[in-house]
């Protein structure tokens, strides 16, 4: 058996509000994460997406795996709002969810409010 550090995908197994964002990362549940995040019913996951790769359909595989539990997906597109390409919008709609693009800051605030209301919300957040 090999010894050493085991690197695993970042994952928090629960739902939690985002306490802070900026400087390339997020704080939540007394933890911090550098990079982008997916906040899903299955937990909070590190996300490899960046502003350049955000709308690659492969980036939404984990979201689609939780689709039955998500009514609204908030997409934090970085510092600026970017429209969701029709291919991605259709992919998400066919899975039964609405999608709403906004700046990452607005997405964090909206996610926290909707989460506090126990709504079926998820967020895909590009780090700023």
Is residue 38 included in any domain, yes or no?
yes
The pLDDT > 70 percentage for the chain reads 91
Is residue 65 included in any domain, yes or no?
yes
Q: What is the pLDDT of residue 6?
A: 46
Is residue 5 included in any domain, yes or no?
no
Q: What is the pLDDT of residue 13?
A: 78
Is residue 51 included in any domain, yes or no?
yes
Is residue 54 included in any domain, yes or no?
yes
If DSSP codes are grouped into helix, strand and coil, which group holds residue 63? helix
Question: For the ranges 50-54, 94-98, 117-121, 123-127, which has the lowest average pLDDT?
Answer: 50-54
pLDDT 10s digits, 67-85: 999 999 999 999 999 999 9
Domain ranges, residue 69: 11-125
Is residue 70 included in any domain, yes or no?
yes
Say which CATH number the domain at 48 has: 3.40.1230.10
Is residue 41 included in any domain, yes or no?
yes
Count the domains in the chain.
Answer: 1
Q: What is the pLDDT of residue 9?
A: 61
Is residue 33 included in any domain, yes or no?
yes
């Amino acid at each position: 058996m090999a010894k050493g550090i085991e690197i695993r995908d970042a994952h928090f197994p629960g739902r939690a509000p985002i306490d802070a964002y900026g400087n390339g990362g997020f704080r939540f549940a007394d933890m911090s994460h550098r990079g982008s995040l997916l906040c899903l019913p299955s937990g909070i996951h590190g996300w490899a997406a960046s502003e350049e790769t955000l709308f690659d359909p492969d980036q939404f595989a984990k979201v689609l795996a939780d689709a039955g539990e998500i009514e609204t997906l908030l997409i934090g597109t970085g510092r600026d709002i970017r429209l969701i390409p029709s291919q991605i919008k259709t992919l998400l709609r066919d899975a039964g969810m609405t999608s709403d693009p906004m700046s990452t800051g607005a997405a964090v605030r909206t996610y926290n409010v909707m989460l506090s209301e126990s709504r079926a919300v998820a967020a895909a957040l590009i780090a700023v």
